[in-house]
Chain A
Amino acid sequence: MKFYLKNILPAALLVLALVQSALASSHREAPLIADDPLADNVDVYAFRSPDRPNTVTLIATYVPFQLPQGGPNYYGFGENVRYEIHVDNDASKVGDEIIYRVEFKTVNEDPTTFFNIRLGKRNLKMTYTLYRSDNGGHSFVAIVSNRVVPPANIGKRSIESGLGLGKTYQQLVNEATIYAATGERVYVGPSDDPFFVDLGGIFDLGDSPRQNGQSRDGVACKNVSTIAIQVPIAFLRKKSAPKIAANILDPNYVIGVWASASRKAVRTLTPGGQSFSGDWVQVSRLGMPLTNEAVIPVGQKDYWNSLTPYQELADQTLDQYFYNPELALYMDDSLFGGAVPAFSKLRIQRKSLGSFDFGNGKDGLFALKGTAAVAGTALDDAVFGTLLLPGAGKPRSVDLWPIFHTGVPNVRPYQLATGKNGNPLAAGKPFINNFLPNGGDMLRLNMAVPPTPRNSANFSSEGLLAAAVLGLTNPTYASSSALQFIPNMDGFPNGRRLEDDVTRIELQAVGGVVLAAIGLWYDDYVPGGSPVTPRLQNVLMYTTQVEANDLGFKTAFPYVALPHAGDGACGGPIAAQFTSQDPWLSGGIVGANTKLVATGQQQILANNYPNPFTDATTLRYRVEVETDVQISVFDQSGKLLQTLVSEPLQAAGDYSVRFEGTGLPVGVYFAKIVTNKGKDVQVLKLAKQ
């Protein structure tokens, strides 16, 4: 039973699988926390720092779906909320080894204005104190005190101008990137949401990639509140670990990382105020991405948020969602596979190696329980208990369950099929060891695995899945079963890098790709033939079509991109105008320089005024059917001068955009209008006087 595991297993290596299940990280993922954005933990990342490999960077993001233009109060962190990042590095001891806790205070520097920033003063200005515990939470020491959180990136007037703060936003981030008294590098403040996913598609009954229309990043143009801490590996590793890792999969170098937010038990409202009292209660947590978003069903989401990972060991109600995940229903033609066409490339093994059925409610590898075939492997009850083969009808107990609860040991059968000669239970090529069998949902990272340079040709957002493919197919790695570094072994689910496409990886995992990686091939595999069958290729080629963040990440700490600016292109769609009130439209100017751009079914009508112009001209256009619109200005040699408009899905309506020609030589310029249907391009003359 799971309760005994802690005693039986700590020294033993258990389990496996390198992937998991689900679909959109944890933005408003459970009913209660959806109504409490300030305490809503959105994502957790943990990766070996590419530019400082003797450190690991831990990132937790909070407060989902922040609109860059969300004034007058914008967003921050909450007072009376405890934000924590937890690290477990020793499964033989109960609970966290290291905890970072951040608490915030807010002050109005100028309570007489409704603006957030004015004349160097900030309202709702936040400061934080960072505490650290290295004894499981018994005592905390302040390691950063009363440091300023940068403001929201409101816009140039508020941030850069003399009426505002008079600094660039990058300067503000640099000032806020500091060292703690104990050596950690710390950034606490707004950033672009580093996550990417087609929320609109996936939550419309799994329509990802979209079967009609373009897939879109639902968290593009959104910001989050970020806590980033870069910690020396020497501090994070288990106390008894060797100073130098024995090898790149040294089991002593595994950490489990999770984050949480807690509130005090009692909130008392009074007119215009509120107060808090009582014990702290955890209201949000996150370890593995998407667990509570798309594995745990709606009826259990609030419950999941309230548990610590350590309490999961005793829980009996949640395991079933990993043994038989809902998503698997939609990847199986005998169940609801036909109902989600977008997942058609993802079909679970129903007859792997001619016999093993991993469909929901089926037995998976349970038939092997107690047989000589599994002796000495992680599936051997005598060695590891009954955790991986707990019973019939729990097919994913061998892959999805363990990756969320224990991590994956470097032990048979959890090695690549390379070198196994057709027997998945034989020894193969090592590719992962993030085994930390504490039984709870965490992001598990083996810190001994070297980082893959982000500018390497081999770097892949497919993470460990990319490493597995190389280890199975690339001669450099597939020609021996020796332990060697394969690029992206430092990727999800061995920790999580900012770039990792966890949605895709997890969907592929539910589609059985991990089972395939260790030699449990897809149904169309014929013994003696190539295991790289059409079904496996389908799974590997599956994509959600949203594979990267909308902004590039930074090469140095805190790595996350600057928050989108409120006065920039992410601050809302360009406004449609009242045509009847426009003086130059009603003034009869339309027609003099009006052109019709016909692009398939879409039509755009455009002109510019004044024309000729001296300093600036306003270009008007009418979108008759919603379309993507891009308008760029070129000189006569075809050199791009400026992109005036780059709008996804601009609604039907009349628009205007100003082109500043100050400083340009006298001459003729061209505005090119491109929409997303057809290739017709309209050229307008901007004759500078």
Chain B
Amino acid sequence: MFKNSHARLIGMLLFAGWAASALASSHREAPLIANDPTADNTDVYAFRSPDNPNTITLIACYIPFELPHGGPNYYTFGENIRYEIHVDNNAATPGDDVTYRFTFTRVNEDPTTFFNIRLGQENLKTTYKLERSMDGGTTFQTIVTNGVVPPNNIGPRSIESGVGLGAADYASLMTGAITNASSGEKVFCGPVDDPFYVDLGGVFDLGNLPRQNGPPRDGLGQRNVHALVIQVPIATLLKTGAPATPANILDPNYVIGVWASASRKATRTIAPNSQNDGGDWVQVSRLGMPLTNEVVIPIGYKDYWNGLTPYQEITDVVLDPFFYNPELSLYMDNRFFGGAIPAFSPLRVQTKSLGAFDFGYGKDGLFSLKGSAAVSGTALDDAIFGTLLLPGAGKARSVDLWPIFHTGVPNLAPYQLATGKNGNPLAPGKPFVNNFLPNGGDMLRLNMAVPITSRTDAAFSSEGLVAAAVAGLTQAPFNTNTNIEFIPNMDGFPNGRRLEDDVTLIELQAVSGVALAAIGLWYDDYIPGQTTSPVTPRLLNVLGYRTGVNKNDKAFQATFPYLAIPWRGTDVAN
């Protein structure tokens, strides 16, 4: 068993599935953390920097739903909280290989006013210390001291005017707060427009996405968050022993796993007018893959999920069922509750793929192949990879949804595009992803060797790796050979996560089986030997599915820190 034999698996390549599941990132996603916004981790991004390709940009956002006009105190990072971005680059060694830890201090420069900014003085002015550990958290070195967090973008009087800060404009405050760490990273901490976008009001009203009545609304439109942004040389993130130049664009040595967290001290003692935190640090929020804890984990386990590290998931046994048989798939299957959510009607899970395989809730998926000659030598071969991907009957999504959250996807049959497979999904096909890092936990996994798709390229798509798969299956020259070659958007989610990637759309399509289809497990309306093209109406339905909210409400910047400047308190409707 993989769970009990972590060490045995290291060095071996496992498997597959490149999509995930769910719907609205992680804003107030679990009961306990919903009441502690200052420590609430909302999103994590990791992508190769488009303007600086020998670096990776890591972003973690905190404090959901900030109102730009939320005065008099506005919002800022909390004291007595450890905000951390964690990187694993070697599944053979337990725990993080690189850890960045931010801690913050708040000062009132003029405690005599109720205004946040007045006459050049700033209240709740926040500065930070950044520490880095390269030894799994055993020791930390301080790499930034007294880093500046810009104020909130209150309005023109507070920011630009002489009675306020007298800044040239808000952008100059943001630029001025960018600093270089002593160890070479570029760093920014501060308020930004929330880069996530989703129709919260629709999706959480029992899955009304896209809305069946009325226009779609971006539930995070005109909202800010506080972001930690670090641009790190790939050389710093690279696994010890990895070649300085990747062997190819899917070099397995170039995979990192990224997650973020917030921790508080165990004991808070409040007294009139003060509070004192003491004791050990306890993790209260974490995030790796978007939306895991928002819509995969049900309410009864959300707080539990937040309390674990990804490394603890390897011994957990209660969470796996939610990936084997995700709740969302109930609503994409006419045998269950498919009829109850009309908005999902284009999304139907395969129930008879290739005439045989049923991926519906509680069904067997590929389990009937277990131990057969057909899977010999593939990632599904127990002799090579253990029983992880085919752990038992009734665990339909153990071959796609489970691995993408827990191990990433290797460049190995059957996890290659159907191109070149000649109708056999288990045959070798065209490579398109390798973000395999089998540590067993929820992380955003990025292969740093994959080239960057220019944000101005006509082929750039917020559909991320789905767009790359579609191109690899349908567009020449990509679909004319099985060579490893760069297909635009191979650098997109779930191979890392770019700011633009529409993870809600991609994950909903994945729950409905689009990843299975990409590797040749076609939809029910493809009849082998009869149907001419696997690009059937059902597949087109899934690919044509839209949530109604397909991009952020503000454009991202072309240069670090890429995030849009925060909404101004005087510029928003309400």
Residues of chain B within 8 A (CB-CB) of A572 are: 199-201, 217-222
B3 CB–A CB distance under 8 Å:
no
Interface size on B, as a range, is 35 or more
Residues of chain A within 8 A (CB-CB) of B35 are: 36-38, 78
Q: Are B70 and A199 in contact (CB under 8 A)?
A: yes
Nearest chain-B residue to A296 (Cβ)?
A: B114
Assuming the contacts A296-B114, A307-B272, asked whether A157 and B205 have C-beta atoms less than 8 A apart, the reply is yes
User: Knowing that A113-B298, A199-B67 are A-B contacts, what are 18 other residue pairs whose CB atoms are under 8 Å apart, sorted by A's residue number?
Assistant: A27-B70, A65-B70, A69-B217, A155-B205, A163-B206, A199-B69, A200-B572, A204-B156, A205-B161, A219-B574, A266-B268, A269-B282, A271-B308, A294-B114, A574-B218, A575-B215, A575-B549, A581-B546
Query: A219 to B572, alpha carbons, bound, how many Å?
Result: 12
Map CB proximity to A onto B29-62 as digits: 1 under 8 Å, 0 otherwise. 1111011111000000000000000000000000
A535 CB–B CB distance under 8 Å:
no
Residues of chain A within 8 A (CB-CB) of B106 are: 31
Residues of chain B within 8 A (CB-CB) of A339 are: 163
B350 CB–A CB distance under 8 Å:
no
Residues of chain B within 8 A (CB-CB) of A575 are: 197, 199, 215-218, 221, 548-550, 553
Nearest-neighbour CB distance to chain A for B109, whole angstroms, equals 10
B271 CB–A CB distance under 8 Å:
yes
A 192-241 contacts with B by CB, 8 A: 199-207, 210, 212-213, 216-222
Residues of chain A within 8 A (CB-CB) of B306 are: 272
Nearest-neighbour CB distance to chain B for A221, whole angstroms, equals 5
Nearest-neighbour CB distance to chain A for B381, whole angstroms, equals 33
A 433-465 contacts with B by CB, 8 A: none
Tell me if B's interface is mostly helix, strand, loop or mixed.
loop
Nearest-neighbour CB distance to chain A for B462, whole angstroms, equals 7
B200 in complex: contacting residue of A205, A301, A566, CB < 8 Å? A566
B141 CB–A CB distance under 8 Å:
no
29 pairs across A/B with beta carbons < 8 Å? A34-B75, A37-B35, A37-B37, A73-B28, A73-B31, A115-B204, A117-B206, A124-B299, A155-B204, A157-B207, A200-B68, A200-B69, A200-B569, A203-B69, A204-B570, A221-B574, A222-B574, A268-B267, A271-B283, A293-B72, A294-B114, A297-B113, A567-B205, A572-B201, A572-B220, A574-B215, A575-B216, A649-B573, A651-B221
Residues of chain A within 8 A (CB-CB) of B169 are: none
Map CB proximity to B onto A565-582 as digits: 1 under 8 Å, 0 otherwise. 111101111111110010
Map CB proximity to A onto B275-294 as digits: 1 under 8 Å, 0 otherwise. 10001001110000000001
B72 in complex: contacting residue of A29, A573, A576, CB < 8 Å? A29
Interface size on A, residues (CB 8 A): 119
Assuming the contacts A298-B123, A567-B201, A655-B215, asked whether A573 and B553 have C-beta atoms less than 8 A apart, the reply is yes
A157 in complex: contacting residue of B117, B123, B206, B297, CB < 8 Å? B206
B 15-31 contacts with A by CB, 8 A: 24, 27-31
Residues of chain A within 8 A (CB-CB) of B112 are: 297, 299, 326
A553 CB–B CB distance under 8 Å:
no
A210 in complex: contacting residue of B29, B283, B284, B570, CB < 8 Å? B570
A72 CB–B CB distance under 8 Å:
yes
Q: Are B204 and A69 in contact (CB under 8 A)?
A: yes
B206 in complex: contacting residue of A115, A297, A303, CB < 8 Å? A115
Assuming the contacts A31-B73, A72-B24, A205-B163, asked whether A111 and B300 have C-beta atoms less than 8 A apart, the reply is yes
Assuming the contacts A69-B201, A577-B550, asked whether A303 and B282 have C-beta atoms less than 8 A apart, the reply is no
A48 CB–B CB distance under 8 Å:
no
Assuming the contacts A111-B299, A205-B157, A272-B307, asked whether A24 and B29 have C-beta atoms less than 8 A apart, the reply is no
A218 in complex: contacting residue of B267, B284, B574, CB < 8 Å? B574
Most B CB within 10 A of own CB, among A117, A297, A326 = A297
Q: Are B303 and A272 in contact (CB under 8 A)?
A: yes
B433 CB–A CB distance under 8 Å:
no
Q: Are A203 and B569 in contact (CB under 8 A)?
A: yes
Q: Are B215 and A656 in contact (CB under 8 A)?
A: yes
Query: A294 to B117, alpha carbons, bound, how many Å?
Result: 14
3 tightest A-B CB contacts, nearest first: A299-B111, A111-B300, A203-B71
Q: Are A297 and B573 in contact (CB under 8 A)?
A: no
Residues of chain A within 8 A (CB-CB) of B73 are: 28-31, 34, 298
Q: Are A218 and B269 in contact (CB under 8 A)?
A: no
